[in-house]
Structure 1
Amino acid sequence: MSDTILSVKDLKVSFDTYAGEVQAVRGVSFDLKKGEVLAIVGESGCGKSVTAQTIMRLTPTPPSRIKSGSILFDGDIEITKLSDRQMEHIRGSEMGMIFQDPMTSLNPTMTVGKQITEGLRKHQRITGDAANKRALELLNLVGISNPESRILQYPHELSGGMRQRVMIAISLACNPKLLIADEPTTALDVTIQAQIIDLMKKLSEQTQASIIIITHDLGVVAEMAQRVIVMYAGKVVEQGTVDEVFYNPQHPYTWGLLRSIPRLDEMGGGDLVPIPGTPPDLFAPPKGCAFAARCPYAMQVCLEEDPDHTKLTADHSAACWLLHPDAPKVERPVEAGGRKHG
């Protein structure tokens, strides 16, 4: 029996607009193991959220469309081939999602209790006292105090951290096999962020659900994930275990991400080095490496041909011409854990 819960192969997703086709996801491939926490990182607009939403078939069609590729869930369920009705049975029961802003994701006209029990009523046919009992258990599980009173409250009566905990409770209600968290800590202050990260770590250990966490915060990645995927301009440019990507990064874009975060082990935190330039226009992506225009190590071949992934270890690979045997040797500007050379 395979230990892979999700297998995404060569996924391509576009949005058809009046201005033309936006190639949001351009051939993404990765596997997720049972019980694993996988992080997807990258700048805004790199395609990480579209990838996650496409896995749950949440992108509206039109304007979005899956051009090609496969999303195989739980061994034999081809997500790209399912009807809307079939997806309704999987969403909430087999897959759960935690959205970025709970205030806009929760229904302001329904009590917290009704929103938690909605999925139970639909997918597990649990009603009445049994559903309320399960809702109380979930609120306790996510660390909300006085669940008996909270269950009767509306979202606007709760703090941001509590609302996010309610979102997590809703996503866990039917014991899903896959949980997707789309920047779950972005709208929260630093103290509450730490609490939510700690909560999700505990839940992943307790429930054994596989988790995909979408984020641009490398601190969250280091704290939660076992493996990480780095995306740029709709493609995966590097992937590996967290240790491999943090301590032995191989793509210049990954170097840039690591150099742009503050370090606690340097006096004054060290200088933050931004990545110059802007991401490419996905209406007309470049024919070569999408990062070439911003890369200080770009060669002529980078502008003309997109590099294939070079396998570095069983889990670690990167798509960069610098890894070609004939490429000039470059000393990367970050040491282990993201520290700068020099």
Structure 2
Amino acid sequence: MENRILDVDDLRVSFKTYVGEIQAVRGVSFHLDKGEVLAIVGESGCGKSVTAQTIMRLIPTPPSHIKEGSSVLFNGKHEITRMSDKAMEKLRGSEMGMIFQDPMTSLNPTMTIGAQITEGLIKHQNMSKKQANERAIEMLKLVGMSNPQGRIHQYPHELSGGMRQRVMIAISLACNPKLLIADEPTTALDVTIQAQILDLMKQIQHKTDTAIIIITHDLGVVADIAQRVIVMYAGKVVEEGTLEDIFYNSRHPYTWGLLRSVPRLDSDSKSELSPIPGSPPDLFAPPKGCSFAARCPYAMQVCKDNDPAHTPITDRHSAACWLLHPDAPKVNRPLEVGEQAHG
């Protein structure tokens, strides 16, 4: 598969604490092709960010622990789970980039914007300071910053939230990485700036053909940028498919719940959202059956006793749900989910 940039297979990550082991990621598998945009969605605490940061090897070990048998193969040749810290340092920044959720805490307040962009260029690309400065100005132009020659001398606190996020994107893209991971890149921004940042990411992805993983709980962001979607719950992938599969033909009750809980612009202002009742399971001791069974209105006894395997729906769409078993009772997708997807 020469187009394959990332292969994640049976990734399991735990955190050892004084009260026990938290099984944060429990057997996650997916792939990413060159130039593709993949969204990973789910509630807070479902394992999205842990998965992303494990791919970048940014989670300290200990307390985290990547379980035996987990595999993260980058570009067909780098087994991330077994690489040394020194080898990972060379890979991060040069071939893999990451945009973090809050640029104010991710940027160094004591360094100018220019110094933070040129740092990686000098280290990974062996550029002179002059070449790196020229590249930094070029990157700030690419991300739509006005007066880039002046901006490189400014500090993060002198910029707005949207500008800081643009700087984060410039830093992550400066060395032309093959993979860009964006962890909730628009959460702290107002809707106007959020739209600008998403447009910017789409333009850059089109120009550079960088593969992107976007981590989010916002299905509006997903609809705007992604080509494929992974839905995570309690540390597992419960459904995956193309954007159209997830929005128009989703088959897992958890995905239906996510779609029903999205506010709609065309609905009556008095209409209420439909939140998913209950809370996610305790990952100190995950349930033996389907993790969503306690919150699922369609749960059967088999759901509580046995964890469902993924059932293929098409060659690119699958879901882990006992309702897809041939002997399961027929359950129609809730009407309002279809309306939400088309709304």
Give, in whole Å, the separation in 1 of the partners of 2:121 and 2:311: 45
Q: Any stretches of 5+ residues in structure 2 without a counterpart?
A: none
Asked whether the 8 Å contact 1:258–1:334 carries over to 2, the reply is no
**What amino acid sits opposite 1:284 in the alignment?**
A
The secondary structure found in structure 2 opposite 1:213 is strand
CA displacement at 1:57 relative to structure 2: 0.3
Asked whether the 8 Å contact 1:262–1:270 carries over to 2, the reply is no
Asked whether the 8 Å contact 1:183–1:214 carries over to 2, the reply is yes
Q: Any stretches of 5+ residues in structure 1 without a counterpart?
A: none
Aligned residue in 2 for 1:332: 333
Aligned residue in 2 for 1:127: 128
Deviation string, structure 1 residues 191-226 (Cα, Å, up to 9, x no partner): 110100110011110110000000000000000000
Distance 1:339 1:12, change over 3 A: same
**What amino acid sits opposite 1:164 in the alignment?**
Q
Give, in whole Å, the separation in 1 of the partners of 2:190 and 2:336: 30
Deviation string, structure 1 residues 139-195 (Cα, Å, up to 9, x no partner): 000000001111000000000000000000000010000000000000111111010
Give, in whole Å, the separation in 1 of the partners of 2:246 and 2:287: 25
Aligned residue in 1 for 2:34: 34
Deviation string, structure 1 residues 14-73 (Cα, Å, up to 9, x no partner): 000001000000000001010000000000000000000000000000000101310011
The secondary structure found in structure 2 opposite 1:228 is strand
Aligned residue in 2 for 1:199: 200
Aligned residue in 2 for 1:182: 183
**What amino acid sits opposite 1:39 in the alignment?**
A
Distance 1:216 1:340, change over 3 A: closer
Distance 1:306 1:134, change over 3 A: same
Name whichever of 136-145 and 120-129 sits farther off. Answer: 120-129
Q: How many residues are paired up?
A: 341
Aligned residue in 2 for 1:79: 80
Give, in whole Å, the separation in 2 of the partners of 1:19 and 1:334: 43
TM-score, reference length from structure 2:
0.97
CA displacement at 1:271 relative to structure 2: 3.1
1:14-163 equivalences in 2 (<5 Å): 14-68=14-68, 69-163=70-164
Tell me, yes or no, if structure 1 residue 2 matches structure 2 residue 2.
yes
Name whichever of 328-337 and 290-299 sits farther off. Answer: 328-337
**What amino acid sits opposite 1:8 in the alignment?**
V
CA displacement at 1:338 relative to structure 2: 5.0
Give, in whole Å, the separation in 1 of the partners of 2:3 and 2:336: 34
The secondary structure found in structure 2 opposite 1:339 is helix
Deviation string, structure 1 residues 205-249 (Cα, Å, up to 9, x no partner): 011000000000000000000000000000000000000010001
Give, in whole Å, the separation in 2 of the partners of 1:324 and 1:88: 45
Give, in whole Å, the separation in 2 of the partners of 1:290 and 1:224: 29
The secondary structure found in structure 2 opposite 1:135 is helix
TM-score, reference length from structure 1:
0.98
CA displacement at 1:272 relative to structure 2: 1.1
Give, in whole Å, the separation in 1 of the partners of 2:312 and 2:75: 26
Asked whether the 8 Å contact 1:15–1:23 carries over to 2, the reply is yes
Aligned residue in 1 for 2:167: 166
1:228-239 equivalences in 2 (<5 Å): 228-239=229-240
Asked whether the 8 Å contact 2:248–2:341 carries over to 1, the reply is no
